[in-house]
């Protein structure tokens, strides 16, 4: 099984989950526990959207207000079908929001971004995913897979020390990591492997010794960009300063892994509004898809005559986890 559980947990907003939900019949990834893919003839519809990324030579540019180019991705049914690079025309913070809105952009993925720009984007109806780092194409794929979430990372120009501005970070220290949280990021992360593509073997166990996943068993290392928010906090932090060939054993509290269960991740919808849900049973695990076509796993926790309740909390939420990690390579 592919370890979806190591990828950062999809953050939950119960209100957005209730909008245009549909049962997802195309399994894009698997989890530590097997989720059932519904195969009935449920009605689905194609979703289209545009995602823009602050862009610089293949990577995510780290200062929204100074970006000179955006890469804009056309997405249909949760898959990228085309992309193009457009210029910012020298526009500043506020005007850039209008530029993106004029391109019918639905989502912006970026590094650091100021509070004023965030407000302008919100007013323009552009969803923000800030604090992202690394390869632009990979970030978009991670977003579409529900693995990239935003904490509203900001670049506070009034609190940088000694004239240090968001556009002038040293030694690769970017707004995506230093000016607050971001897409799947947690706190400022430092280490020689941050921002690099790492391949690791690992074995994950619970405190009673039960193994829940292992890349060794699959014979294929896990590949990710360290510090880019693709991994849970504790795993990322452990790899940040490892040497190739080194093996470490770590113990993670829930706060370093999937956090505690979120009550807002439990939501109830009308069965009539979700075709196919009438056939679901309590305890069944399925995928739903939101208005952007992004799949997310849920468990049916209750079912009444006209309503059905789902729990979108990650199955590892609230659990302490142990990992044996071996760093195979760094690029």
Confirm whether 212 is a catalytic residue: yes
- Alpha carbon distance 110, 151 (integer Å): 12
Q: Which of 70, 212, 224, 292 is catalytic?
A: 212
Say how many C-beta atoms besides its own lie within 10 A of residue 161's C-beta: 5
Q: Which of 51, 60, 109, 232 is catalytic?
A: 232
Confirm whether 202 is a catalytic residue: yes
Q: Which of 202, 224, 235, 323 is catalytic?
A: 202
Taking the CA atoms of 225, 189, 122 and 96 in sequence, report the sign of the dihedral they define: negative
Q: Which of 213, 308, 310, 323 is catalytic?
A: 213
Say how many C-beta atoms besides its own lie within 10 A of residue 112's C-beta: 31
Confirm whether 235 is a catalytic residue: no
Q: Which of 17, 55, 258, 287 is catalytic?
A: 258
Confirm whether 23 is a catalytic residue: no
Confirm whether 258 is a catalytic residue: yes
Confirm whether 29 is a catalytic residue: no
Point out the residues that are catalytic.
202, 212-213, 232, 258, 267
């Amino acid at each position: 099984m592919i370890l979806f559980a190591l990828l950062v947990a999809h953050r939950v907003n119960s209100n957005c989950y209730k909008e245009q939900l549909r049962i997802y019949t195309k399994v894009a990834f698997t989890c530590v526990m097997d989720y059932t893919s519904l195969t009935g003839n449920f009605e689905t519809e194609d979703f289209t959207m545009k995602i823009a990324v602050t862009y610089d030579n293949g990577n995510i540019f780290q200062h929204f207000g100074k970006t000179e180019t955006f890469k804009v991705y056309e997405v249909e049914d949760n898959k990228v079908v085309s992309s193009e690079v457009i210029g910012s025309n020298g526009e500043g913070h506020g005007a850039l929001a209008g530029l993106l809105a004029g391109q019918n952009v639905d989502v912006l993925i970026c590094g650091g971004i100021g509070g004023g720009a965030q407000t302008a984007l919100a007013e323009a109806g552009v969803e923000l995913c800030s604090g992202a780092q690394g390869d632009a194409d990979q970030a978009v794929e991670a977003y579409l897979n529900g693995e990239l979430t935003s904490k509203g990372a900001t670049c506070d120009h009034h609190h940088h020390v000694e004239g240090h501005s968001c556009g002038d970070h040293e030694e690769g220290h970017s707004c995506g990591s230093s000016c607050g949280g971001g897409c799947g990021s947690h706190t400022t992360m430092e280490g020689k492997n941050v921002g690099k593509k790492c391949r690791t073997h690992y074995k994950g166990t619970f405190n009673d010794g039960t193994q829940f996943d292992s890349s060794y068993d699959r014979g294929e290392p896990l590949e990710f960009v360290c510090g880019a928010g693709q991994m849970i906090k504790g795993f990322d932090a452990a790899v940040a300063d490892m040497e190739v060939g080194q093996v470490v054993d770590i113990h993670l509290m829930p706060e370093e892994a999937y956090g505690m269960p979120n009550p807002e991740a439990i939501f109830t919808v009308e069965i009539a509004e979700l075709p196919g849900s009438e056939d679901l049973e309590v305890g069944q695990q399925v995928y739903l898809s939101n208005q952007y076509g992004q799949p997310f796993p849920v468990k049916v926790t209750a079912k009444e005559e006209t309503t059905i309740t789902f729990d979108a909390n990650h199955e590892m939420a609230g659990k302490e986890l142990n990992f044996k990690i071996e760093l195979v390579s760094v690029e």
